Amino acid sequence: MNGQNFSVQLKSHAKLASGKPITAKLERSTINLYLAILEPVLIIYYIAEHDEAYYCWFTEKTVDLTKKNKSFTISFNSTNKLSSIDWNTISSHIEEIFSRRFLLHSFPEHTFSEMGIEEKEASAHFIKGDFTSALHIYYQLQKKSPSAHLLNSIALCHYELYQYKDALKNINEALAIIDSSTIRLNKASILTEYGIESGNKAMVLEASTIFKSSLDENEDYNQHYNYANTLRWLGYYDEAKKHLKIALDKNPNYAEAWKNLGEIYSKKGDTDKEINCYKNALAINPKLAPALMSMGIALIREMQNFDEGIKYLEKAVMEDPDLFSKFSTGYFWLSFANFGIDQNSKGEFYLSQGLTHYPGDPYLLNLKRNLFVERWHESPEKKRLAKEFMLFRLNFEPNDTIALECLCKIYFNDGENSRMFELIKNRTVLFQNTSTVEFIESGFDLEPFLSSIRSYGDYCSFWSCYLFCHKKLRQYSS
């Protein structure tokens, strides 16, 4: 990592058929290797008949990996001859790639070749995905010699670690030093994820404005992708789909764009197109954890294929152990699917893990409530736990009539009719003129009516609407 370097792939052929272009075949496994390594890849193709070698750079757009081919054909420009290669041009090309990969593209005064050993080490950690190690080194460098490009690097490390508050703080400090368009785009990326995580619409709107304005200056596929990401969360699905398709036209190997396009088709209820998009994403990058998770969820939710869905979700966590720290839905669907195939201990484990990390998540809480509704009668311990949870649930969400009904049934089962009556009286408008003593002495049997408590909300809505309409009719008739 102490200087510029690149990989070379050598191929050769005796001669070309008359009039045929210069082409070579690459295996999919070879292409995956090219995409995984850090340095640029130069492909050299020697033609014995010409006594000449031709070259081309391999980029992420050289082939379309969404196709099911086992091998791909690449073309060489006949003017790119190795015998007349300009090594200054090669050096500049590699410099540009490393500057971009090592977070320096916002700062033209800083080049990869001028970076110190520590900064190269930090940058190497970053592009390998070891953001914690990179962050530590960047902070040490920032203490020694503060600069905007180090603050930008620190912000991006926090961003990759899902630490959006710290990321926003550092990127704002960088912008206070240099008002760079690329740093503003980095800020927009942070605002997008921070806003989505916290439900802050203002943040996402600000990010969307930044991305949209950047499209006037730069039609890069990344900007279409980023803009679409904000539009998707804001609910503008058709516009988001349009920009994702533009991004994919420019770069068909953009796995993340395929994944996000699949999620838009999910919103529109087009399951076949949704799953096909996830397949494309995983054909390009089989280890893309968010795509693995989305595929798993689609298989469980739309296809009721619990076994396959679980495999995808578990593989997603293997690829990114921190994935569910950002997406609570992973815990929900992994728990739900395991309960669906009677793997109750696993279902309970993932449900417990989910609520440990997301104590107030409504989907996880509803799943736990529904499980207790079905199973509280199986044992005294489950009944005790169900009673505790339903009391918590009603304190957390007073209008949860399913929890109210379940708790009433538990009290009735335990012979605690007075507690059942007080619960109904305190949580509804029923029995407001009746005391507990009067209720007990009346011998009124509530059991046949307990299963209707969950419809109490609908009952109240009906009477509210009825009284409103009745009042209006009386006004019109008078």
Question: What pLDDT band is residue 140 in, cutting at 50, 70 and 90?
Answer: very high
For the stretch 195-238, pLDDT in tens is 998 999 999 999 999 999 988 777 788 889 999 999 999 999 99
- Select from 340, 271, 333, 273 the least CA-distant residue to 302: 271
Mean pLDDT of 285-314: 96
Give the residue, 246 or 162, on which the prediction is more confident.
246
Q: Residue 473's pLDDT is what?
A: 67
The chain-wide mean pLDDT, for the chain, equals 87
Does residue 474 surpass a pLDDT of 70? no
Please report which helix (H) or strand (E) contains residue 143, including its range. helix 131-144
Mean pLDDT of 439-456: 82
- Select from 380, 381, 376, 406 the least CA-distant residue to 393: 406
Question: What pLDDT band is residue 92 in, cutting at 50, 70 and 90?
Answer: confident
Beta-strand pair 41-47/7-13? parallel
* 143 bridge partner residues: none
Look at domain 116-218 and name its CATH class: mainly alpha
Q: Residue 453's pLDDT is what?
A: 85
For the stretch 14-65, pLDDT in tens is 777 777 888 888 888 888 777 766 678 889 988 888 889 998 888 877 888 8
Give the residue, 97 or 283, on which the prediction is more confident.
283
Phi, psi angles (nearest 5°) of residue 73: -100, 130
Query: What sign has the CA pseudo-torsion 315, 317, 321, 322?
Result: positive
Question: Could you give the 3-state DSSP secondary structure of residue 41?
Answer: strand
Q: Are 274 and 263 in contact (CB under 8 A)?
A: yes
Mean pLDDT of 96-107: 52
d(CA 6, CA 58): 11
Does residue 107 surpass a pLDDT of 50? no
CB-count burial class (<10 Å; 0-12, 13-18, 19+) for 387: middle
d(CA 230, CA 212): 10
Mean pLDDT of 287-314: 96
Q: Residue 257's pLDDT is what?
A: 96
Does residue 103 surpass a pLDDT of 50? no
Does residue 145 surpass a pLDDT of 70? yes
Mean pLDDT of 297-316: 96
Residues 6 or more apart whose CB falls under 8 angstroms from that of 462 comprise none
CA distances from 286 to 8, 33, 66 (A): 25, 13, 11
CA 375 to the chain's CA centroid = 33
Helices within 251-305 (DSSP H only): 255-267, 271-284, 289-301
Question: What pLDDT band is residue 461 in, cutting at 50, 70 and 90?
Answer: low
d(CA 402, CA 212): 45
Question: Could you give the 3-state DSSP secondary structure of residue 176?
Answer: helix
Q: Residue 243's pLDDT is what?
A: 96
d(CA 144, CA 140): 7
> For 142-269, where are the E strands, in sequence order?
none
> For 122-262, where are the E strands, in sequence order?
none
Question: What pLDDT band is residue 363 in, cutting at 50, 70 and 90?
Answer: very high
Does residue 466 surpass a pLDDT of 60? no
Does residue 404 surpass a pLDDT of 50? yes
Phi, psi angles (nearest 5°) of residue 220: -60, 140
- What is the percent of the chain with per-residue pLDDT over 90, rounded to a whole number? 55
d(CA 135, CA 223): 26
CA distances from 318 to 51, 177, 212, 469 (A): 49, 40, 35, 57
Question: Which residue has 């730069």 as its token pair?
Answer: 218
Reported pTM: 0.78
Domains of the chain by residue range: 7-92, 116-218, 397-477
Question: What pLDDT band is residue 393 in, cutting at 50, 70 and 90?
Answer: very high
For the stretch 237-291, pLDDT in tens is 999 999 999 999 998 999 999 999 999 999 999 999 999 999 999 999 999 999 9
Kindly report the CA angle at 458 between 452 and 461, in degrees rounded to 5?
145
Please report which helix (H) or strand (E) contains residue 9, including its range. strand 7-13
CA 119 to the chain's CA centroid = 29
